[in-house]
Structure 1
Amino acid sequence: MSTFANTLDSNNWVATWAGPVARHPAAMEPIAQKTLRLRIEASVGGRAVRVVLTNEYGTSPLRIGAASIATVDQDGDEGQPAPLTFGGQSSIDVAVGAVALSNDVELSVDPGQHLFVKLYLPVETKPESAVLVQGPELPLSHPLAVALLDFERVELSSEGDFTDVTGLPGATPGVHLPFLSRVDVLAQADVSTVAVLGTTYTDGLDVWPDHLSRLWNTQPGQERFSIVNLSARGGSMSRGHAPSGREGVVTLFDREVLSLPGISHVIVSEARQDITTAGARSLNADGSRSESSDGEELPVTAESLKAAYRQLIAKAHVRGVKVLAATMPPFRGVPAPGYYSDEKDDLREEINTWILESGEFDGVIDIDALMRDPEDTRQYREQYRSANFYGPNPQGHAAIAASIDPAALQ
Structure 2
Amino acid sequence: MSIRALRATLIALLTSLVVASMTATPAQAHPGRHWTATWETANIAAAPDPFGGTNWADGFENQSLRQPVRVSRGGSEVRIRISNVYGAGPLRVTGASIARAADGAAVQPGSLRPVTFNGRRSTVVPAGRQANSDAVSLRVTALEELTVTLYFADRTGPATFHPFALATSYRAAGNHLTDKSSDAYTETSQSWYYLAGVDVSGRPGDAVVAFGDSITDGSFSTPDANNRYPDELAERLVAAGSHKAVVNAGIGGNKVLTDNNPGFGDRATARFGRDALGQPGVRTVIVLEGINDIGLGEGPEAVPVTAQQLIGGYRTLIRAAHARGVKMIGATILPFAGVIYPGYYTERGEQVRDAVNDWIRTSGEYDAVADFDRALADPADPDRLNPAYDGGDGLHPNDAGMRAMAQTIDLDEL
TM-score in same-fold range (> 0.5): yes
Is 2:212 the counterpart of 1:198? yes
Aligned to 1:166: 180
Question: Superposed, which structure 2 residues align to 1:180-219 within 5 Å?
Answer: 180-189=195-204, 191-204=205-218, 206-218=227-239
Aligned to 1:68: 97
Aligned to 1:18: 40
Q: Deviations over 1:255-283 (max 9, x none)?
A: 22111110000000101111111024xxx
Q: Deviations over 1:166-203 (max 9, x none)?
A: 234421212411111011001422x2111011222221
Indicate conservation of the 8 Å contact 2:62/2:151, yes or no.
yes
CA deviation after TM superposition for structure 1 residue 210, in Å: 1.0
User: Could you tell me how far apart the structure 2 residues matched to 1:16 and 1:351 are?
Assistant: 31
Counterpart residue type for residue 207 of structure 2? T
Bigger drift between 207-216 and 315-324 goes to 207-216
CA deviation after TM superposition for structure 1 residue 24, in Å: 2.6
CA deviation after TM superposition for structure 1 residue 375, in Å: 2.1
Indicate conservation of the 8 Å contact 1:202/1:231, yes or no.
yes
Aligned to 1:140: none
Q: Deviations over 1:255-313 (max 9, x none)?
A: 22111110000000101111111024xxxxxxxxxxxxxx4232411111111111111
Counterpart residue type for residue 143 of structure 2? G
Bigger drift between 343-352 and 380-389 goes to 380-389
User: Could you tell me how far apart the structure 2 residues matched to 1:358 and 1:242 are?
Assistant: 32
Aligned to 2:363: 358
Is 2:388 the counterpart of 1:404? no
Counterpart residue type for residue 71 of structure 1? R
Bigger drift between 72-81 and 178-187 goes to 72-81
Bigger drift between 173-182 and 200-209 goes to 200-209
Of Structure 1 and Structure 2, the greater helix share is in 2
Is 2:96 the counterpart of 1:81? no
Q: Which runs of 4+ in 1 moved over 6 A?
A: none
Counterpart residue type for residue 249 of structure 1? A
1:316 to 317, 321, 334: 321
User: 1:230 is paired with a residue of what secondary structure?
Assistant: strand
Counting matched residue pairs gives 369
Bigger drift between 57-66 and 322-331 goes to 57-66
Aligned to 2:385: 380
Counterpart residue type for residue 105 of structure 1? V
2:168 to 139, 147, 153: 153
Could you tell me the TM-score, scaled by structure 2's length?
Answer: 0.84
Aligned to 1:231: 250
Give structure 2 stretches of 5+ with no counterpart: 1-28, 49-54, 219-225
Q: Deviations over 1:4-55 (max 9, x none)?
A: 979xxx9321100011110132522542212110111101011101111011
Judging changes above 3 Å, is the alpha-carbon distance between structure 1 residues 245 and 202 closer, same or farther for their aligned structure 2 residues? Answer: closer
Identity fraction in percent: 31
Q: Deviations over 1:296-346 (max 9, x none)?
A: 232411111111111111000110001000111111121212100111011
Indicate conservation of the 8 Å contact 2:43/2:265, yes or no.
no
Counterpart residue type for residue 12 of structure 1? H
